[in-house]
Amino acid sequence: MPAYAYFKKNLVPFSQANLSVMTHAFHYGTAVFEGIRGNWNKEEHQVYLFRVQEHYQRLLNNAKLLRFNVPYTAEELTRITIELAQKEDLKEDQYVRPIIYTASEALWVRLHQVEVEVAIFIIPWGPYLDPDKGARCCISSWRRPDDTQVPPGAKITGFYVNSALARTDAFHKGFDESIIETRDGFISEGSGENVFILRRNQLITPPVYDSILMGITRDCVIQIARNEMGLETVERHFRRGELLTADECFLTGTAAHLTSVVEVDNYRIGDGSVGKVTRQLQKLYFDAIYGRSPKYKHWCTPVRSGLGAEVKVNKGR
């Protein structure tokens, strides 16, 4: 359990961060959330929050979509998170969970005339999938709803029922993760990750209109592949056939990092082991998120003062 939480505009002991059973968001899934990594750099004795302001900017944009009136800027939320992380003082990889939710004790389905609150807490969290071994995936029998139903990229809690169904589908079939298709049968994304395939030395990933969340990790990988390996990413539709016959495939996400997909529905991807390009990208990506890469240091916001580190909010860009 965390020791502290940001709750109802204050940093409080975690045991005081409790909600009523009548809380509006609990009934209707009317909340938006984020997942932000704090990565522990052992050598520097430092925690680096990764692209924290961009996560908060995305959260505020998503809150706007739900017509939430949120009296915070991304910079203010970043400062609160730094303070919370300093108080928790975890010396390991960690995960920040901010959530903006309809807090009124009222039972009408609506987004107007409801109070909105922000809560943030931090937990220790290692890898979500195994980046060394790679993941065995299935194609989910559940399809991804599209933007005409609920905006799929808005990290709305209610929408995650689709991800939960898909992930549990994978579990019951003996796989690590599900890859979900759009209603038209294009590959969309994993239950909590974006998908890339490599075909003939070109990276391909589904575009925004294939019901994906525009991942921050996805963006990092596109930039790193281009800058460090001269590898361009094409954002275009692709179907299951191209996925099953790809040279390599991997998932990206704040929780999952960059994890190879070695098998889909019992088809081996490539030779069924972690691909060469995936390995190279993994190394570059891990160097970036742990603050070991000077070129990408602007993505990392230090939490701990001392040891010469100035704690300031990096805009990320």
Name which position in 216, 231, 249, 261 contacts ligand PLP (CB under 6 A).
216
What burial class does residue 140 get, using C-beta atoms within 10 Å of its C-beta: 0-12 exposed, 13-18 middle, 19+ buried? Answer: buried
Residue 129 interacts with ligand PLP (CB under 6 A): yes or no: no
Residue 182 interacts with ligand PLP (CB under 6 A): yes or no: no
> Cβ distance 113 to 72 under 8 Å?
no
CA–CA distance, 60 with 68 (Å, rounded to integer): 9
Name which position in 59, 129, 166, 213 contacts ligand PLP (CB under 6 A).
213
Residue 35 interacts with ligand PLP (CB under 6 A): yes or no: yes
Residue 136 interacts with ligand PLP (CB under 6 A): yes or no: no
Residue 193 interacts with ligand PLP (CB under 6 A): yes or no: yes
Comparing CB distances to ligand PLP, the nearer of 79 and 97 is 97
Residue 177 interacts with ligand PLP (CB under 6 A): yes or no: no
- Site size with ligand PLP, rule: CB under 6 A: 14
Residue 192 interacts with ligand PLP (CB under 6 A): yes or no: yes
Name which position in 88, 177, 181, 189 contacts ligand PLP (CB under 6 A).
189
Catalytic residue among 42, 155, 276, 295: 155
Binding pattern for the stretch 234-263 against ligand PLP, x by CB under 6 A and - elsewhere: ------------------xxx---------
The residue range among 8-16, 186-194, 199-207, 234-242 that interacts with ligand PLP, by the rule CB under 6 A, is 186-194
- The tokens for 189 are 């994304």
Known active-site residue 155: yes
Do strands 202-205 and 194-199 pair parallel, antiparallel, or not at all (unpaired)? Answer: antiparallel
> Cβ distance 260 to 270 under 8 Å?
no
Residue 218 interacts with ligand PLP (CB under 6 A): yes or no: yes
Binding pattern for the stretch 86-125 against ligand PLP, x by CB under 6 A and - elsewhere: ----------------------------------------
Residue 2 interacts with ligand PLP (CB under 6 A): yes or no: no
> Cβ distance 302 to 45 under 8 Å?
no
Comparing CB distances to ligand PLP, the nearer of 114 and 261 is 261
| Sites for ligand PLP among residues 265-284 (CB under 6 A) | none
Q: Which residues bind ligand PLP (CB under 6 A)?
A: 35, 163, 189, 192-194, 213, 215-218, 252-254
Catalytic residues: 155
